[in-house]
């Protein structure tokens, strides 16, 4: 994934025989080795997710009271100007809540569970700068 607003490239990586490798195209199993002297910042999923601001499509991925597709929905208007960050991860689900970040002050206490991935694909947008 490439985020042109702040020049962030994201790759899924794995380690094999002590060598870090990244997927260029996971579906076709295209893999490249990372140079030992690279300039990449490698993070585990939880570290990566906890450092992000979350954007999602409420109509397709509504806030839920529990991390379950059958769970009751929270009342939330997608038009509300709210910045969400992640506070919990449970499998393919994340708990997001309004955060006082980037000079933004929460006017409402809004939070709930949404899916962050489906069938191995990320289905939300993640931002790392305001």
Q: pLDDT tens digits, residue range 68-109?
A: 999 999 877 665 678 899 999 999 999 999 888 877 788 778
Tell me the C-alpha to C-alpha distance, in Å, between residue 12 and each of 44, 85, 108.
10, 21, 35
| Digit-coded pLDDT (tens) for 30-72 | 888 877 666 677 777 788 888 888 989 888 999 999 999 999 9
Whole-model pTM?
0.76
Number of Cβ atoms within 10 Å of the Cβ of 130: 10
Length, in residues, of the chain: 130
On the question of pLDDT at 7 being above 60, the answer is yes
Strands (E), 17-56: 19-25, 30-33, 53-55
Alpha-carbon span 19 to 29, nearest angstrom = 17
Q: Tokens 């990244």 belong to which residue?
A: 22
Q: Tokens 């990566």 belong to which residue?
A: 48
pLDDT at 107: 79
Alpha-carbon span 115 to 89, nearest angstrom = 10
CB-CB contact of 89 with 73 (8 Å): no
């Amino acid at each position: 994934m490439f985020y042109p607003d702040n020049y962030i490239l994201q790759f899924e990586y794995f380690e094999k025989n002590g060598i870090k490798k990244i997927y260029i195209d996971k579906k076709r199993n295209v893999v490249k080795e990372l140079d030992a002297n690279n300039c990449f910042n490698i993070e585990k999923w939880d570290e990566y997710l906890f450092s992000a601001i979350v954007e999602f499509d409420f109509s397709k991925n509504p806030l839920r009271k529990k991390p379950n597709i059958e769970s009751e929905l929270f009342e939330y208007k997608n038009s509300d100007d709210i910045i969400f960050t992640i506070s919990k991860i449970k499998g393919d689900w994340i708990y997001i809540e309004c955060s006082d970040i980037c000079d933004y002050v929460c006017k409402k206490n809004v939070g709930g569970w949404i899916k962050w991935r489906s069938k191995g694909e990320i289905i939300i947008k993640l931002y790392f700068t305001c």
